[in-house]
Each structure stands twice: as C-alpha cells, then as structure tokens.
C-alpha cells in the first residue's frame, strides 16, 4: 500500500475521532450513585480517641504536659514560700516595690 493511501485513511478516520472528542461519554447518574454507595461502605470508621488523649495532644503531648505541671508546682511553691524572717529594710523596700500588697504584712518588721 502506497503512502498516499495511508494518509487518505487517516483523514477519513480523523472525522470520527473529532466527533468522539466533541461528545465525551458521561456515566449515568445511577452508575455514579452505585459507585459512591460502594465506596462509602468500604470506608473505615474513624476511631474515637478518649478525652484525655485528645487533651494531651492539644497541649502538645507528654513533654508539654510535664513542663506545664512543673511550672504549676513551682508557682504554688513560690507563692506559699515567702520569707518569714531575716528581712532587712532594703529587702523589705524591694519587696514592697515588686509586690505593693505586701506592704501591710512587712510594716510590722520595721
């Protein structure tokens, strides 16, 4: 078969290819609904984590919770361990500047 015959067949077939490209096939709505139903049935259920696990992850895990607990314990200790005695005038003045609400407690030590 000469080369010119191949080109003529390509030109004749090209009209059919153009018609197929102009109207691509679309699946029917019933087929799409059946495929989606089947896909939903195969999806695994999402595991529900306990509240403590979700809170732990919200704070950043165990290292962050350990730091938070340490800071809370240090805050309680610092808040309750005020110096009882041995405060001189300079230290008392400094404490009054930092925490003015202590001025009435320290007034008796002068």
Which has the minimum average pLDDT: 6-10, 18-22, 38-42?
Answer: 6-10
**pTM score:** 0.34
Quote the pLDDT of residue 12.
Answer: 82
Percent pLDDT > 90 in the chain is 29
Q: Three-state secondary structure along 54-97? A: HHHHHHCCHHHHHHHHHHHHHHHHHHHCCCCCCCCHHHHHHHHH
pLDDT (0 to 100) of residue 69: 94
DSSP state for residue 107 in the 8-state scheme: G
pLDDT of residue 30: 95
pLDDT in tens, 25-49: 889 999 999 999 999 999 888 888 8
pLDDT digits (tens, 9 = 90+) for 69-95: 999 999 888 877 766 655 666 666 665
Give the relative orientation of helices 62-80 and 51-59 as an angle to the nearest 10 degrees.
80
First and final C-alpha spacing in the chain: 121
| pLDDT at residue 82, rounded to an integer | 66
Q: Which residue has the tokens 């306990």?
A: 50
């Amino acid at each position: 078969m000469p080369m010119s015959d191949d080109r003529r067949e390509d030109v004749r077939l090209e009209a059919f290819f153009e018609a197929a490209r102009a109207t691509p096939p679309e699946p029917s709505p019933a087929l799409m609904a059946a495929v989606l139903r089947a896909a939903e049935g195969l999806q695994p259920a999402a595991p529900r984590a306990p509240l403590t696990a979700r809170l732990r992850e919200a704070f950043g895990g165990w290292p962050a919770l350990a730091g938070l607990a340490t800071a809370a314990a240090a805050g309680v200790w610092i808040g309750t361990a005020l110096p009882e005695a041995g405060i001189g005038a300079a230290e008392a003045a400094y404490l009054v500047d930092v925490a003015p609400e202590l001025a009435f407690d320290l007034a008796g030590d002068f």
